[in-house]
Amino acid sequence: MISPKEYIIYGVYIDEQKQKILNNGQCSDNQSINSSGDGADEKKESWDPEIPNTVTTILMDKDFNMILKPGFIPNSVKYIKFGDAYDRCLEPGSIPEGVEKIVFGSNFNQFLKPGILPSTLKILDMGQTLVNGYSAPIIAGGIPSTVEELYFSNSFNQPLKPGVIPNKVITLKFGRNFNQPLPENSIPSSVKTLYLGSSYDYPLEFGTIPRSVRELVLSDSFNQELSPGDIPLTVEFLSFGDHFNQPLLPGCIPESVVFLRFGKNFNRPLTHGSIPLTCDTLILSEQYNHPIKIEFIPFVKNLEPISIRKLIVGATYNNNSLSNSNNSILNSSNGSIPNNNSNTNSSPSTKDRLSFPILDYYRIKLKKL
């Protein structure tokens, strides 16, 4: 049963000349479009379903594809989800001020001019979970400056110039097909969570990833060499895709990363400095087969999968625990971490590890001439 604050617009197409608009599952005479009736041509694109001004959510079904005239959607609406069939040109006022979240369907691909989307918008989803979705170019101003969460569709693969993505975006996720170089400042310094889809495979040059990013998920296709400073010193959660298999020079993974995950193809030896002292969770693949010296991962508490633990080499290592002189401990039977209050020799907290002197690669990185 539909709540009073939720309104579903159904569009059932009978043929090219006949169309019925169903209001909340009930067909009303004054909302039907029938080519056999008088004045049908005049009513074809003009109709008034009288959506109550208490409605806050509008859901369009998969067949709805009529022009949205300004005033059709009441100002009370906060959330609009378009159906898969919808692909009409929007004009200023089609979506009223007050709307905070928009989800487009798989067919919507109309160019978004500045002023089309409301200035109250906070979440814009262009079809991140769909096979297709929005793939047209985006210009500066096309996405309102108020947007905080931006999700591109799997079809989107357009160049992004600085200023296209608003500087209030906090969460930015690209879709499966995105594979364009990212010039410096094309990702604004407000972004904290960045997902680079499945196809991105360009070098992460100095400045590509802004220093605001805390969570960085690289694409499955990414397999580029890294230099110190390419990944900023703010990243705490770092996940590589399945194709990454590059050597890790000391400092490539910054001394801020707490969670580090590699994909199934990574099989490079870990050397001193490859894994930062801040890392307490390290995930490798089942195929990884290089010995891991205990002194290279002194503060890792969670090492996955369990089969990897047999590769640890060190005087005090056995299959049931991961420990050294600094007493980082891992219970391999269930992956649990002993309570620090009950173990006075447990490893320092993340906060303590982050207090170690850290080399700021942004200040010392030199560009090759």
Residues 146-185: tens digit of each pLDDT = 999 999 999 999 999 999 999 999 999 999 999 999 999 9
pLDDT digits (tens, 9 = 90+) for 253-297: 999 999 999 999 999 999 999 999 999 999 999 999 999 999 999
Show the CA angle centred on residue 72, arms to residues 70 and 76, nearest 5°.
100
Q: Where does 16-82 show beta strands of DSSP type E? A: 18-23, 26-33, 57-60, 79-81
Given a contact cutoff of 8 angstroms between Cβ atoms, the answer to whether 245 and 224 are in contact is no
Neighbouring CB atoms inside 10 A of 142's CB total 17
Neighbouring CB atoms inside 10 A of 217's CB total 18
Q: Where does the chain show beta strands of DSSP type E? A: 6-15, 18-23, 26-33, 57-60, 79-81, 101-103, 123-125, 149-151, 171-173, 193-195, 215-217, 237-239, 259-261, 281-283, 292-293, 302-304, 312-313
Range with lowest mean pLDDT among 15-24, 173-182, 233-242: 15-24
Where is pLDDT greater, at 43 or 30? 43
Over the chain, what is the mean pLDDT?
79
pTM: 0.78
Dihedral in degrees, nearest 10, Cα atoms 155, 158, 163, 166: 0
Q: Quote the pLDDT of residue 335.
A: 33
Residue 197 CB contacts under 8 Å (≥ 6 apart), including other chains: 152, 154, 173, 174, 175, 176, 177, 178, 179, 219
Question: Quick check: 354 pLDDT over 90?
Answer: no
Query: Closest Cα partner for 277 from 298, 249, 304?
Result: 298
Amino acid at 232: P
pLDDT digits (tens, 9 = 90+) for 51-109: 888 999 999 999 999 999 999 999 999 999 999 999 999 999 999 999 999 999 999 99
pLDDT digits (tens, 9 = 90+) for 195-210: 999 999 999 988 899 9
Q: Quote the pLDDT of residue 281.
A: 96
The token pair at 140 is 């500066």
Percent of all residues in the chain with a pLDDT value above 90, rounded to a whole number: 64
Q: Quote the pLDDT of residue 42.
A: 40
Amino acid at 278: T
Q: Quote the pLDDT of residue 345.
A: 37
* 189 to 94, 167, 213, 214: CA distances (angstroms): 31, 7, 8, 11
Residue with tokens 């890294």, as numbered in its chain: 226
The C-alpha atoms of residue 237 and residue 260 are separated, in whole angstroms, by: 6
Residue 285 CB contacts under 8 Å (≥ 6 apart), including other chains: 262, 263, 264, 265, 266, 267
